[in-house]
Amino acid sequence: MEGAVREVLSAATGDARVEDAMASVARSVGGLAAGITVWRHGAFVGQSWTGLPPGFERDYVATFSTHDPWARGGLCGALGAVLTSDDLVPRARLEMSAFHNELCRPHGVGDLCGGVLVREPDLLVTFGVLRPSDARGDGGREASSLGAFVPALTSLGFAEIARRRAASSRDVADTLPFGVLVVEACKGVVLAANGAGERLVERGLVGRVGEPLVVDGEPLAALVRATTNVTRRTTRAHGLRVVIHRPPSAGERITCIVHVHHAESVANERAERAARVYGLSPREAAVAALIIAGMSPKEIAARHGVAESTLRTQIRTLYAKVGVDRQAGLVAALSEL
């Protein structure tokens, strides 16, 4: 039991896989499967379970998560309390439900023990252990044993919320067309980058993650370290504009958010999105990128080695696909992507 608890704590700190830790929890009480589930305002968000038959998990996520009688009873339970199936829903009602007869019974699932680990304004984390259909008793013995796991499982629940929020933040950052870097403020080391930032790294315009901040060959780690008494500092590294934001509070590990604006890269990012949204051809996307970057039709024609009249025909096709009739409208539409 103690080894399984340590494994759950290791999963909470990222030193072990959640699935392996939950497998240890299930084995410790003779369970069929075990895992944690995340909910938002009572609606299913996602889960990390091990031991579930593939068909069970598929059908639960697709259909039965909205008709889960254990969830309806469990989401309102006291924090840290380990409840049996009978605590959550009367057994007669459970056995009459489609949830039991169409999902649980065909997969050899008898009932469940579990409870609420974390309850926050927007998210809630529950855990559970499924008992096999031939398990003896009402689950009270298993529930009592699982009480020893609650502190470690609660840490795992908080870690899961943090992971999902970080992923959500990355998704938002990836919608931005300019580089966004998370930089450790004391040493100026780059900790993470959004999609546009990673492409700047690939082009050699920004130093690699895990190393001190360098933009277009210019070391900026010292400038990051010096940004202590201001919340925003702007500088230029050759042709790139760099904005260093220092949040008023960034937790125990003080970090800065660094925006790296490279006009050509921003234009390319927006043109690639326009290609997906409006169905632009590669040539039309390339023309759009140069228009966003501020080049004139004459300059673009020279860049592409075509006559200006040919280029203007391409631009008219571009206008038609985007639904605008002039260059200003095109730039405005694509700048919103």
Q: What is the pLDDT of residues 126-149, one digit of tens each?
A: 999 999 999 898 989 999 999 999
Looking at the chain, which residues constitute the CATH 3.30.450.80 domain(s)? 2-166
Query: Which pTM does this prediction carry?
Result: 0.58
Confidence at residue 252, expressed as pLDDT on a 0 to 100 scale: 43
Least confident of 151-155, 171-175, 275-279, 301-305: 171-175
Specify burial of residue 294 (Cβ count, 10 A radius: 0-12, 13-18, 19+): exposed
Which CATH number, 3.30.70.260, 3.40.720.10, 3.30.450.80, 3.30.70.1230, labels domain 2-166?
Answer: 3.30.450.80
Looking at the chain, which residues constitute the CATH 1.10.10.10 domain(s)? 265-335
Q: Are strands 232-237 and 240-245 parallel, antiparallel or unpaired?
A: antiparallel
Query: Does the structural domain 265-335 have CATH classification 1.10.10.10?
Result: yes
The per-residue pLDDT of the chain, averaged, comes to 86
Confidence at residue 254, expressed as pLDDT on a 0 to 100 scale: 66
Q: Please report, for residues 48, 104, 256, the alpha-carbon distance to residue 31 in angstroms, rounded to integers and kept in the order given.
A: 16, 14, 45
- The per-residue pLDDT for range 186-206, each reduced to its tens digit, is 888 888 888 888 888 988 889
Instruction: Give the distance from CA 43 to its chain's centroid.
Output: 18
Confidence at residue 154, expressed as pLDDT on a 0 to 100 scale: 93
| Most confident among 82-96, 170-184, 226-240, 246-260 (mean pLDDT) | 82-96
Element spanning 304, H or E: helix 297-304
Looking at the chain, which residues constitute the CATH 3.30.450.20 domain(s)? 175-261
pLDDT-based confidence at residue 73 (cuts at 50, 70, 90): confident
Q: Please state, in angstroms and rounded to a whole number, the distance separating the CA atoms of residues 294 and 284.
A: 16
> What percentage of the chain has pLDDT greater than the value 90?
23
Ramachandran quadrant class, 80 (left: phi over 0; alpha: psi -120 to 50; beta: rest): left
DSSP count for the chain of H helices, then E strands: 16, 12
Q: Look at residue 250 and tell me whether its pLDDT is greater than 70.
A: no
Q: Could you tell me if 321 and 334 are in contact, meaning their C-beta atoms sit under 8 angstroms apart?
A: no
Confidence at residue 251, expressed as pLDDT on a 0 to 100 scale: 46
- Superfamily designation of domain 175-261: PAS domain (3.30.450.20)
Tell me the CB-side half-sphere exposure of residue 21, using CA atoms within 13 A.
25
Helical ranges in 48-206 per DSSP H: 54-62, 69-74, 85-88, 91-96, 98, 140-146, 150-174, 195-202
